[in-house]
Amino acid sequence: MTFLDILLQQSINGLMLGIMYSLVAVGFTLYFGVLDVINFAHGDFFMLGGFMALMLYAIAEAVGFAGNALVVVIYLFIGSMILTGVVGVVTERVCVKPVSKAPMLISLLVTLGLGIAIREAVRVLYPRGSDPKGFPTLMPQGSFNVGNIVIRYENLIIFGLGIAVIMAVNFLINRTKMGAAIRAVAQDGEAAMMMGVDLDRTIDITFLIGSAVAAVAGIMNGFYYGQTMFNIGAMMGVIGFSAAVIGGLGNIYGAIVGGILFGLLETFAAAALPYGAENKRVFAFLIVILFLVFRPTGILGEKIFERV
Amino acid sequence: MTEMFLTLEGVTAAYSNMEALRRVNVQVEKGKIACLLGSNGAGKSTLIKAILGLVKVVEGRITFDGEDITREKTHRVVRRGISIVPEGKRIFPKMTTIENLRMGAYIEQDEQAIEERLERVFELFPRLEERAHQIAGTMSGGEQSMLSIGRGLMSSPRLMIFDEPSLGLAPILVEQNFETIQRINEEGTTVFLVEQNASLTLEIASYGYVLQKGKVVAEGTAEQLTDSEVIQSAYLKS
């Protein structure tokens, strides 16, 4: 393999991870836009998405509905998006929105606590919830070569799905009336209400979208690694938040760029640095820290606390 | 018998725990321009927020077109046909002119109606058509002011509230704005104009109220107010 091959191969791996990170980062950015809240429980919605899919799969198996893999995969994604989205809206109403007007420290503590509650709930309520949970093999296995680069079918599907979801979110936010309401609320909530926007409903919809998109990332993660665990949300929360900040908190494109950048950094660190595999995140977060020192507003952010 | 469109009866409203309005009575007659005069901190903005359901109304009653709208949620009040051109313009800075105007027509579902209103706004403000795809935050203060008024027109309101349209604008632009307001009224929209600039306001309004420290201290026709002691001493003494 030439150097270029290695570079390309690692880029593909990095993009895979990056897409997942982007999907989580988008939620952070949306929530910050409409509610001025940094929702540290968001990583746990990523985890919850994976577990909802597992639960739905167990139900499907129990009733003997497990024939066509494609149908099952679609059922898992849509079902988990709906369930996770609903949990997202309920928790937003019960404990995120009520503290959004309070000092940021309060909302930070509340959302951190919410994350722990979700994590522990999954551990206690899911059968043998403390153990790693294997994901079913539903995607076509095997791979094909482009030159010296190996591409697995499963990864290609996951990647394509990630891109599709990002495009759908972009369409929703920038091309629909509902998206215009979300952007208006992010820019000036009171002015948006003066235009006839139902503020509460818009916030609900934003959390529905954010949680559902995180759920997609959670399922992708499960298929990618072949397993999931109740505690993976905490790290994903930190990564997603970092990605949103690198890109410029409040900017959707920034969240996507930040997520992909983080995925690439991590992968290249694992491949190229001595002891890289164990310390890939140390390296990636080091870059994040440097980035924040020299450009605290992020890649696409205009100024601190500028929104969508 | 004249028809009262918007009425406030004995309205007391709290704003961050300070009582900013105390038993205020105001009426806006259908088809006319009514005005509310008062200096900074007199409670003018609180009164508007009370109408829109953005501050808590402690006592009293607000009605619009005969129906009680006290404590109704903001978006419901707006859907009844009230539109506001808020203080400080409050345009959406990261949206383009067109996007801002479309936000103004948020409650309208009929795409054809929206297109017609866009045309009407561009006819009123040709400058906005030139700036149609510019990001609103990058436009001049005068253009943003036009955009704010244009956005207020986009819902085709029955009552339009203007909150300090003269604030922070050059005198020539202020006069243009007031001419526009007059024209909007002549085309059939009832106007409630809330202002500090008494002389210009009383030129176009037919009836007015003077607010001081949260209370209405004087009311009357524009002529009566222009001659009144309170206006002469506080606002027109130049």
Answer for the pair A29, A307: CB distance below 8 angstroms, yes or no: no
The CA-atom distances, in angstroms, between A59 and each of A56, A66, A67, A72 are: 5, 10, 13, 11
Per residue in B159-181, pLDDT (tens digit) is 999 999 999 899 999 999 999 99
Cβ atoms < 10 Å from Cβ of B43: 25
Examine the pLDDT at B5 and tell me if it is beyond 60.
Answer: yes
User: Which of the 8 DSSP states describes residue A135?
Assistant: P
For residue A190, what are the CA distances in angstroms to A187, A225, B74, B122? 9, 44, 9, 26
Domain ranges of chain B: 1-81+159-238, 90-156
CB nearest to A196's CB, from B75, B95, B99: B75
Q: Please list every residue in chain B whose beta carbon sits closer than 8 Å to the beta carbon of residue A194.
A: 52, 74, 78, 83-84, 86, 90
Residue from the list B90, B102, B107 with its beta carbon closest to the beta carbon of A188 = B90
Candidates B89, B92, B158, partner chain A, best to mutate (most A CBs within 10 A): B92
CA distance A244 to A307: 12
3 state SS for A49-117: HHHHHHHHHHHHHHCCCCCCHHHHHHHHHHHHHHHHHHHHHHHHHHHHHHHCCCCHHHHHHHHHHHHHH
* Mutation site for A-interface testing, chosen from B46, B106, B107, B163 by largest number of A Cβ within 10 Å: B106
Is residue A69 within 8 Å of residue A139, measured between CB atoms?
yes
Of the candidates B52, B75, B95, the beta carbon closest to that of A197 is on B75
Please identify which residue in the block is written with the tokens 């309401």. A181
Distance, in Å, from the CA atom of A27 to the CA atom of B123, rounded to the nearest integer, reads: 41
**Which among B78, B91, B95 has the least Cβ separation from residue A183?**
B95
Domain ranges of chain A: 3-294
Distance separating alpha carbons of residues A212 and A227, to the nearest angstrom: 20
CA distance B77 to B57: 14
- Contact residues, chain B, for A173 at CB < 8 Å: none
Nearest CA in chain B to A307: B94
Give which of A258, A176, A194 is closest to A185, Cα–Cα: A194
Burial classification of residue A261, based on how many CB atoms lie within 10 Å of its CB (0-12 exposed, 13-18 middle, 19 or more buried)? buried
Rounded Cα gap, residues A280 and A127, in angstroms? 32
**How far B104 CA sits from the closest chain A CA (Å)?**
5
Q: How many CB pairs under 8 A join A and B?
A: 61
CA dist A183 and A95 (Å) reads 23
What does the alpha-carbon distance between residue B207 and residue A286 come to, in Å, rounded to a whole number?
Answer: 66
Q: Say which CATH architecture domain A3-294 belongs to.
A: Orthogonal Bundle (1.10)
Dihedral angle, C-alpha B92, B98, B99, B102, nearest 10 °: 110
Contact residues, chain A, for B104 at CB < 8 Å: 195
Identify the CA nearest to B212 among candidates B24, B28, B13: B24
Which residue matches tokens 């989580």? A24
Q: Give kind and range of the element (H or E) at residue A146.
A: strand A143-146
State the nearest Cα–Cα gap between A127 and chain B, in angstroms. Answer: 45
Rounded to 5°, the CA angle A38-A243-A161 comes to: 105
CATH code for the part of the protein at B1-81+159-238: 3.40.50.300
Instruction: Measure B19 CA to nearest chain A CA, in Å.
Output: 21
**Tens-digit pLDDT string for chain A (308 aa):** 788 888 899 999 899 999 999 999 999 999 998 998 999 999 999 999 999 999 999 999 999 876 788 899 999 999 999 999 999 999 999 999 999 989 989 999 999 999 999 999 999 999 999 999 999 998 888 899 988 888 999 999 999 999 999 999 999 999 999 999 999 999 999 999 999 999 999 999 999 999 999 999 999 999 999 999 999 999 999 999 999 999 988 889 999 999 999 999 999 999 888 888 888 899 889 988 888 888 888 887 654 444 44
